[in-house]
């Protein structure tokens, strides 16, 4: 029975191409939804910018998406969620889904009681992460590892180059020495490095990201608010990037595994 044809799009944004790892999960789970994705590659990485700067960019992007009549916003960026989701929630009249490093599930599955979080400096020093850790990881050691440079490697689609592997070794091997058995990918760019990380840390380490749980959370919210698009047509996807550098648009095409039309976002 089709009682709801809510064809308004869902807006998804990230500082760059990383949020495509979340968009893939959303598109897989909700193939009939129309989606608009924004990569703010011209202004990435957010992780090394101030909180105010990230708030401002997030606000501008959210306003742009609101004008496109979105029904829900997904902040597919841990850094922008930490810096801006509270103020976006105060200002926007639609449901907003944010992203947080998977501390809770990591604590549940860790056998050594030591987990590592790979994320940007901004995410790691945020109040949100501190309260998440206090809430879920009182009896677990959470080792925070900032990973400067990794976002740029993904933006350039250098997923398995020598210097990318060196950076990953530098960030992960000290964690393994401290008995970490679970690694949390606390930045949406890092799932694209999953194979390279796996090669370096070996098969015994669990690696968690939040793409799928976020897609499920979005589905729950759409259902609850009766916002699901129950049409049987395939959803339309629109892509924007604030950078028109060939490198960025090419990376988007390659990570999405399909030829896509990418419009320039002038904000
Ligand atoms: N994908 C963003 C995140 O999840 C990367 C942040 C950045 O641009 O530094 O944190």
Residues 21 and 69 in one domain: yes
Q: What's the CA gap between 9 and 7, in Å, rounded? A: 6
Enzyme catalytic residues: 77, 187
Q: Which of 12, 14, 210 to mutate to test the pocket of ligand 1 (most atoms within 8 A of CB)?
A: 14
CATH code, domain with 240: 3.40.50.1860
Are residues 133 and 202 both part of a single domain? yes
Instruction: Write down the pTM of the prediction.
Output: 0.96
User: What value does the mean pLDDT of the chain take?
Assistant: 95
- The gap from C-alpha 136 to its chain's centroid, in whole angstroms, comes to 21
Q: What pLDDT does 98 receive?
A: 97
Q: What are the tens digits of pLDDT across the range 30-66?
A: 999 999 999 999 999 999 899 999 999 999 999 999 9
Q: Which atom of ligand 1 is nearest to the CA of 79?
A: 10
Closest residue by Cα to atom 5, ligand 1, is 187
Euclidean distance between CA atoms 4 and 2, whole angstroms = 6
Supply the range of the domain harboring residue 161.
103-209
Q: How far apart are CA 62 and CA 73, in angstroms?
A: 8
pLDDT, tens only, 112-158:
999 999 999 999 999 999 999 999 999 999 999 999 999 999 999 99
For residues 183 and 236, state if they share a domain: no
Number of domains within the chain = 2
Instruction: Identify the pLDDT of residue 122.
Output: 94
């Amino acid at each position: 029975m089709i009682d709801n044809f809510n064809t308004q799009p869902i807006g998804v944004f990230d500082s760059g191409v990383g949020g495509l790892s979340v968009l893939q999960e959303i598109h897989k789970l909700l193939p009939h939804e129309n989606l608009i994705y924004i990569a703010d590659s011209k202004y990435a990485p957010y992780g090394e910018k101030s909180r105010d700067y990230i708030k401002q960019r997030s606000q501008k992007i959210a306003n742009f998406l609101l004008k496109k009549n979105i029904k829900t916003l997904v902040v597919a960026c841990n850094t922008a969620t930490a810096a801006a989701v509270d103020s976006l929630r105060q200002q926007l009249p639609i449901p907003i889904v944010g992203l947080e490093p998977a501390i809770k599930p990591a604590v549940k599955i860790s056998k050594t009681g030591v987990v590592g979080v790979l994320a940007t400096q901004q995410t790691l020093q945020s109040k949100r992460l501190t309260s998440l850790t206090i809430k879920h990881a009182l009896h677990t050691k959470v080792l925070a590892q900032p990973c400067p440079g990794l976002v740029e490697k993904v933006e350039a689609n250098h997923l398995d180059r020598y210097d990318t592997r060196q950076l990953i070794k530098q960030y992960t091997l000290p964690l393994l020495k401290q008995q970490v058995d679970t690694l949390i990918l606390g930045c949406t760019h890092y799932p694209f490095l999953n194979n390279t990380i796996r090669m370096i840390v070996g098969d015994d380490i669990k690696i968690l990201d939040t793409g799928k749980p976020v897609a499920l959370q979005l589905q729950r919210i759409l259902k609850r608010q009766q916002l699901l698009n129950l049409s049987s047509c395939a959803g339309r996807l629109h892509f924007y990037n604030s950078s028109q550098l060939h490198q960025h648009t090419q990376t988007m095409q390659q990570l999405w595994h399909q030829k896509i039309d990418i419009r320039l976002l002038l904000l």
